[in-house]
């Protein structure tokens, strides 16, 4: 990217569009697809941008996408907000956006290669389920955020009813299944090694010094809706009983954690495919 392109948003966008077009013509499986192709992650991208807009409608400044892949999310965020992007991932040959350098980092074993307080916005979509140590990654992301900075993270929702029923009858959540022994493809779809329920993700974010934690979902699943129609009353009754026991007998509930616990049986989390969690740095 030359100096003119770097300082000219229209020229930078034109360069990225050309890179998208050429990658698509080459038929690269990692290429950013054209809008009419219907990405499977389109709903996740839309929900991520909506969560950024909810937390910071006028977001601007330095932006990092952790697990950037082909750059689709970076491209879409740049179309919505006046940000200067950086990308990091476990490999650098997936990126198809022109002018975007990928910093290679293994989050299971390495720290993010950035100084404290480097970014106003960090996103991390569909990554933490691949990590052995997601709580350490949350601390690293908090470290590189500036005070007041926004972080949005997504991961498969293991609490939707389809997933709960699959776990009850098979022992594996949706999007998580038997792993072949000796297969270390942690970054592929075979590498969903860490199912993270919303409460534990919220707990990790709070422990990392992040606040204003809220959750949304990308879309509701029809299969979960059918199950909810049959199970809504038992869920409400058993959930209320369990909350009373936790509060009175075990004394595990307090004003800070109870909203996250109650959210676990909310309609969105009982139906949603993917959770999108937003927060900001204290």
Q: Which pLDDT band holds residue 12 (cuts at 50, 70, 90)?
A: low
User: Would you say 89 and 110 are in contact if contact means Cβ atoms under 8 Å apart?
Assistant: no
Instruction: Please classify residue 58 by burial: count the beta carbons closer than 10 Å to its beta carbon, then call 0-12 exposed, 13-18 middle and 19+ buried.
Output: exposed
pLDDT of 21 above 90: no
Q: Which pLDDT band holds residue 189 (cuts at 50, 70, 90)?
A: very low
Question: pLDDT value at position 19?
Answer: 60
| Distance between CA atoms of residues 68 and 75, nearest Å | 10
pLDDT of 208 above 80: yes
DSSP helix/strand/coil, 17: helix
pLDDT of 69 above 80: yes
Question: pLDDT value at position 38?
Answer: 36
Q: What is the pLDDT of residues 216-265, one digit of tens each?
A: 999 999 999 999 999 999 999 999 999 999 999 999 999 999 999 999 99
DSSP helix/strand/coil, 173: coil
Q: Which residue has the higher pLDDT, 280 or 30?
A: 280
Percent of the chain whose predicted confidence (pLDDT) is above 70: 84
Among 64, 105, 108, 60, residue whose Cα is nearest residue 87: 64
What average pLDDT does the chain have?
88
Instruction: Please classify residue 174 by burial: count the beta carbons closer than 10 Å to its beta carbon, then call 0-12 exposed, 13-18 middle and 19+ buried.
Output: buried
- Winning range, highest mean pLDDT, from 30-44, 173-187, 255-269: 255-269
Question: pLDDT value at position 161?
Answer: 98
Record the pTM.
0.86
> What distance lies between CA 224 and its chain's CA centroid?
21
Report DSSP state, residue 110: -
Mean pLDDT along residues 187-195: 72
DSSP helix/strand/coil, 157: coil
Mean pLDDT along residues 73-81: 97
pLDDT of 30 above 60: no
For the chain, give every domain's residue range: 3-221+271-281
User: Would you say 228 and 161 are in contact if contact means Cβ atoms under 8 Å apart?
Assistant: yes
Q: What is the pLDDT of residues 96-141, one digit of tens each?
A: 998 899 999 999 999 999 999 999 999 999 999 999 999 999 999 9
User: Would you say 5 and 15 are in contact if contact means Cβ atoms under 8 Å apart?
Assistant: yes
pLDDT of 63 above 60: yes
pLDDT of 64 above 80: yes
Neighbours of 195 (CB within 10 A): 20
Q: Which CATH number fits domain 3-221+271-281: 3.40.50.170, 3.40.50.150, 2.40.160.60, 3.30.70.3040?
A: 3.40.50.150
Q: Which residue has the higher pLDDT, 206 or 2?
A: 206
Mean pLDDT along residues 4-22: 62
Q: What is the pLDDT of residues 265-274, one digit of tens each?
A: 999 999 999 9
> Which of 37-46, 86-95, 107-116 is least confident?
37-46
| Distance between CA atoms of residues 110 and 129, nearest Å | 17
């Amino acid at each position: 990217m030359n100096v003119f392109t770097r300082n000219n948003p229209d020229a930078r966008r034109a360069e990225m569009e050309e890179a998208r077009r050429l990658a698509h013509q080459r038929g690269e499986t990692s290429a950013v697809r054209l809008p009419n192709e219907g990405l499977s992650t389109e709903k996740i991208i839309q929900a991520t941008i909506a969560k950024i807009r909810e937390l910071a409608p006028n977001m601007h400044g330095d932006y990092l996408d952790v697990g950037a892949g082909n750059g689709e999310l970076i491209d879409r965020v740049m179309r919505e907000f006046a940000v200067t992007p950086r990308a990091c991932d476990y490999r650098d040959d997936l990126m198809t956006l022109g002018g975007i350098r990928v910093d290679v980092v293994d989050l299971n074993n390495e720290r993010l290669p950035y100084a404290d307080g480097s970014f106003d916005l960090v996103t991390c979509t569909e990554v933490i389920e691949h990590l052995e140590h997601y709580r350490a990654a949350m601390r690293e992301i908090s470290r590189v955020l500036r005070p007041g900075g926004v972080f949005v993270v997504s991961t498969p929702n293991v609490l939707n009813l389809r997933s709960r029923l699959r776990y009850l009858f098979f022992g594996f959540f949706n999007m998580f299944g038997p792993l072949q022994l000796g297969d270390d493809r942690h970054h592929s779809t075979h590498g969903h090694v860490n199912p993270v329920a919303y409460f534990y993700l919220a707990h990790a974010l709070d422990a990392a010094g992040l606040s204003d934690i809220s959750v949304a979902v990308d879309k509701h699943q029809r299969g979960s809706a059918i199950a909810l129609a049959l199970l809504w009353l038992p869920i409400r009754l058993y959930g209320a009983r369990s909350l009373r026991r936790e509060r009175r007998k075990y004394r595990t509930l307090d004003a800070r954690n109870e909203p996250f616990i109650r959210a676990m049986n909310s309609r969105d989390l009982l139906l949603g495919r993917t959770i999108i969690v937003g927060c900001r740095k204290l």
